[in-house]
A and B are shown apart, each in its own frame.
Chain A
Amino acid sequence: MYSATEKALIASIWEKVTPHTEQWGGEALERLFAVFPQTKIYFKHVDTSPGSAAIRSHGDKVMKAIGSAAGDLDNMLTTLSSLSNLHAYNLMVDPVNFKLLSHCILVVLANHLPSEFTPEAHLAFDKFLASVAAILSQKYR
């Protein structure tokens, strides 16, 4: 459950992310692959070298999806429903990896928005990304 303050924090941070979804999304994935190389197994068909166009485009996609969830916090189940199906029935990404990517997204936010990413904003975002992860793994079994 989000307090009004948390909702406001998530919205204001995300407003600053929106112009940079491709660059920062790509960077989050680049950090994921550098820090947790085992995550590359899900991308064997893709060029995962740093700065690759494929990764920037995928990062953009991921960030935009997160953005749509952030834009309607009370209806995340509906917003993320088809992505939830995709992850459960097609991708079958082990849910532990959602935590790893969430961490890398938080690192990117702290990196680019050091004054806005206060401890309170960090809390709101950590909660939010954990909800996204829970919804994405909801139909796994």
Chain B
Amino acid sequence: MVHWTDEERQAITSIWAEVNVEEAGHQALTRVLVVYPWTQRYFSTFGNVSNATAIAGNHMVRAHGKRVVVALGDAIKNLDNVKATYAKLSELHSEKLHVDPENFKLLGETLIISLAAQFGAAFTPDIQAAWQKLMAVVTAALSKQYY
């Protein structure tokens, strides 16, 4: 069971209230595909994802990025039980999507970077720390059903 301080909960919910879900998802997923191009292996059905311009303009990438960040909202609404909240998603990523769990870390990192770009000075070191903890908890929960 993850222990969250009041400050950490506040850091997460206050930033979440201001996040543009579609834009953050688009930024984060675009960065994953551009910065770590081997991740393109999971998106062969998305059309052209072979270069930065194509990726940034790809509608399926945008839609998928949004979907991922919308799902993050479920974890944030259930901070005390992320593992149970994500059990089915974890199984999906392992059994159907066959995604290497290392990718959860990569997306967590690019989401942090996207938030830093959006929020500027408001994204303080302590707020970053709370969000990195959230990313670690989400990564662990999504990796749980792999065997």
Contact = CB atoms under 8 A, between A and B. Distances in A.
Main SS at interface, chain A: helix
A122 B113 contact: yes
A52 to B, nearest CB: 13
B120 A119 contact: no
A66 interface: no
Given A110-B114, A111-B116, A34 B129 contact: yes
Interface residues of A, number: 22
Contacts of B116: 107-108, 110-111
Interface in A18-43: 27, 30-31, 33-35
Interface in A87-141: 103, 106-108, 110-112, 114, 117-120, 122-123, 126
Interface in B116-147: 116-121, 123, 125-126, 128-129, 132
B66 interface: no
Nearest to A31: B125
Contacts of B34: 119-120, 122-123
A126 B35 contact: yes
B113 A34 contact: no
B125 A110 contact: no
Nearest to A107: B116
B45 to A, nearest CB: 21
Contacts of A120: 34, 52
A106 to B, nearest CB: 6
Nearest to A120: B52
Contacts of A110: 113-114, 116-117
28 contacts: A30-B125, A31-B125, A34-B125, A34-B126, A34-B128, A35-B125, A35-B128, A35-B129, A35-B132, A103-B112, A107-B112, A107-B113, A107-B116, A107-B123, A108-B116, A110-B113, A111-B121, A111-B123, A114-B117, A114-B120, A118-B52, A119-B34, A120-B34, A120-B52, A122-B34, A122-B35, A122-B113, A126-B35
